[in-house]
């Protein structure tokens, strides 16, 4: 397909249920219909079934997903369904985004980054240990590994870049930044959004690193995670309250035609915990400014998603938060986007799990216009245009 044609497609939404102890599990049924590529999650509501007299005695909630990963699913299962297709698209010049949404402790960071191997980073000066994909590796490690294994069709990988942004209380931080001051070693360089002449978003101060091998890429990723932890100790357990965006730039030459270059960006986004978002009656009481602040960017994300899901040419409030600016292409723009909604099957988290699923249903209604980012070198372009004129 040329640069001009674009296809409309919906966001694929997956659900992942976190394993929980038997005795504390809400009854739920997950039905995956592989032929139809649709899944249904049914969650029993134990409170309602006990109290038959209540007005809204709804005993089950039903939600549709592209696919549901139950408590036995592996990291590899999730990657094959939600991650690998984005790598394959990126080699075709198509942008991709995977974002993970759900309440704190439902497995968002595990899904994206795998287990934290605390203190496992090699001390400076020692020969670094080999990093590789293990059973517990998350989406990012697997995407990086896949890109460098080059088993993605006939287009030839030319270069790969990575950047890693953390957004905390509406401020962006570069997790791969080196410009720290001596007086504040825990402070990462701050990233600010700027628009360039063509009205495109530029993140000023976000370092972009060219990586030449899977090892080099995984090392940067590890450094970013270490920086995130260091900063966290100064932010009182901010992990569940910040958003992280890991971006991989992929440039390929089109197979058998070195005149055409394909470029794509893949964003992998670990969102802040979604609990308490949009519960306005709580907001009115004196919530800590931090909680209000953090939930504000998720609140803005929700507003963007609601506006997009309603369609029509309404104003989409991307500019209200840094997160929605960064994700503007991924939501309603030029990107193949997938969302993984993580939920807990524990009874006490029923309400949050239902609200995560409700949010996911909204996201599934958004359509993106996806097209390949192709550029031709000038001579080849002139020849192609001459050909087209002849026709």
Confidence tier at 104 by pLDDT (50, 70, 90): confident
pLDDT of residue 125: 44
Confidence tier at 64 by pLDDT (50, 70, 90): very high
Helix (H) or strand (E) holding 65: strand 60-65
Confidence tier at 351 by pLDDT (50, 70, 90): confident
Percentage of residues in the chain having pLDDT higher than 70: 79
Task: For 356-378, give one letter per residue: b (16+ CB within 10 A) or e.
Answer: bbebbebbbebebebbbbbebee
pLDDT of residue 185: 53
Distance (Å, rounded) from C-alpha 294 to C-alpha 30? 32
Distance (Å, rounded) from C-alpha 42 to C-alpha 247? 34
Q: Is 343's pLDDT higher than 80?
A: yes
Q: Which fold has domain 7-390?
A: Kinesin (3.40.850)
Lowest mean pLDDT among 120-129, 255-264, 316-325, 371-380: 120-129
> Which DSSP string do the residues of 3-28 spell out, in sequence order?
SS--EEEEPEEEEEEEP--GGGB--E
User: Which stretch, 105-114, 131-140, 244-253, has highest mean pLDDT?
Assistant: 244-253
Task: For residue 140, count CB atoms less than 10 angstroms from its CB and return exposed for 0-12, middle for 13-18, buried for 19 or more.
Answer: buried
Beta bridge partners of 167: 172, 243
> Which DSSP string do the residues of 337-367 spell out, in sequence order?
EEEEEEEE-BGGGHHHHHHHHHHHHHHTT-E
The overall average pLDDT reported for the chain is: 81
pLDDT of residue 25: 77
Distance of CA 210 to the CA centre of its chain: 21
Lowest mean pLDDT among 44-53, 111-120, 126-135, 379-388: 44-53
Distance (Å, rounded) from C-alpha 310 to C-alpha 298? 18
Is residue 13 within 8 Å of 360, Cβ to Cβ?
yes
Q: With CA atoms as reference, report the closest residue to 246 among 268, 265, 220.
A: 268
Q: Is 342's pLDDT higher than 80?
A: yes
Confidence tier at 280 by pLDDT (50, 70, 90): very low
Q: For the segment 155-197, what is each residue's pLDDT rounded down to a tens digit?
A: 889 999 999 999 988 889 999 987 665 556 567 889 998 888 7
Q: With CA atoms as reference, report the closest residue to 14 among 31, 39, 34.
A: 39
Q: Is 369's pLDDT higher than 90?
A: no
Q: With CA atoms as reference, report the closest residue to 335 among 4, 109, 1, 10.
A: 10
pLDDT of residue 56: 55
Beta bridge partners of 264: 250
Q: For the segment 224-262, what is each residue's pLDDT rounded down to a tens digit?
A: 998 887 666 555 454 567 899 999 999 998 877 678 899
Q: Is 330's pLDDT higher than 80?
A: yes
> Which residue ranges are tagged as binding site for ATP?
102-109
pLDDT of residue 16: 95
Confidence tier at 112 by pLDDT (50, 70, 90): very high
The model's pTM is 0.85
pLDDT of residue 123: 42
Q: Is 116's pLDDT higher than 60?
A: no
pLDDT of residue 54: 53
Residue spans per domain, the chain: 7-390
Lowest mean pLDDT among 87-91, 356-360, 374-378: 374-378
Could you tell me which residue, 204 or 378, shows the higher pLDDT?
A: 204
Is residue 200 within 8 Å of 265, Cβ to Cβ?
no
Average pLDDT of span 351-375: 90
Query: Tokens for 190?
Result: 């701050």
pLDDT of residue 15: 95
Percentage of residues in the chain having pLDDT higher than 90: 38
């Amino acid at each position: 397909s040329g640069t001009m044609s674009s296809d409309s497609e919906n966001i694929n939404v997956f659900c992942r249920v976190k394993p929980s102890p038997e005795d504390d599990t809400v009854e739920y049924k997950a039905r995956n219909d592989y032929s139809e590529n649709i899944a249904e999650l049914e969650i029993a509501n134990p409170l309602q079934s006990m109290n038959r007299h209540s007005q809204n005695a709804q005993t089950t909630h039903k939600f549709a997903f592209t696919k549901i990963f139950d408590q036995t699913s592996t990291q590899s299962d999730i990657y094959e369904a939600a991650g690998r297709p984005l790598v394959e698209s990126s080699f075709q010049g198509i942008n991709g985004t995977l974002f993970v949404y759900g309440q704190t402790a439902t497995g968002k960071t595990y899904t994206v980054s795998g287990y934290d191997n605390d203190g496992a980073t090699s001390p400076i000066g020692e020969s670094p240990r080999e990093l590789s994909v293990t059973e517990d590796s998350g989406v990012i490690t697997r995407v990086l590994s896949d890109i460098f294994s080059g088993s993605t069709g006939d287009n030839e990988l030319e270069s790969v870049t990575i950047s890693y942004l953390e957004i905390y209380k509406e401020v962006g931080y570069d997790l791969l930044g080196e410009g720290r001051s001596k007086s504040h070693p825990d402070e990462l360089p701050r990233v600010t959004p700027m628009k360039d002449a063509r009205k495109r978003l530029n993140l000023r101060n976000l370092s972009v690193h060219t990586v030449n091998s899977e090892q080099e890429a995984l090392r940067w990723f590890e450094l970013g995670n270490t920086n995130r932890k260091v900063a966290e100790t100064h932010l009182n357990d901010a992990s569940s309250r910040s958003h992280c965006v890991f971006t991989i730039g992929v440039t390929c030459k089109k197979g058998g035609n070195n005149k055409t270059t394909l470029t794509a960006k893949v964003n992998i986004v670990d969102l802040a915990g979604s609990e308490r978002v949009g519960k306005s009656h709580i907001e009115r009481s004196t919530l800590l400014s931090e909680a209000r602040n953090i939930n504000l960017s998720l609140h803005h994300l929700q507003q963007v998603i609601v506006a997009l899901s309603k369609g029509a040419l309404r104003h989409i409030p991307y500019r209200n938060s840094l997160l929605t600016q960064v994700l503007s292409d991924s939501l309603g723009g030029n990107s193949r986007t997938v969302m993984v909604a993580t939920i807990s099957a524990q009874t006490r988290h029923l309400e949050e799990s239902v609200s995560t699923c409700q949010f996911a249903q909204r996201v599934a209604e958004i359509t993106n216009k996806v097209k390949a980012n192709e550029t031709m070198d000038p001579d080849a372009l002139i020849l192609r245009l001459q050909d087209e004129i002849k026709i």
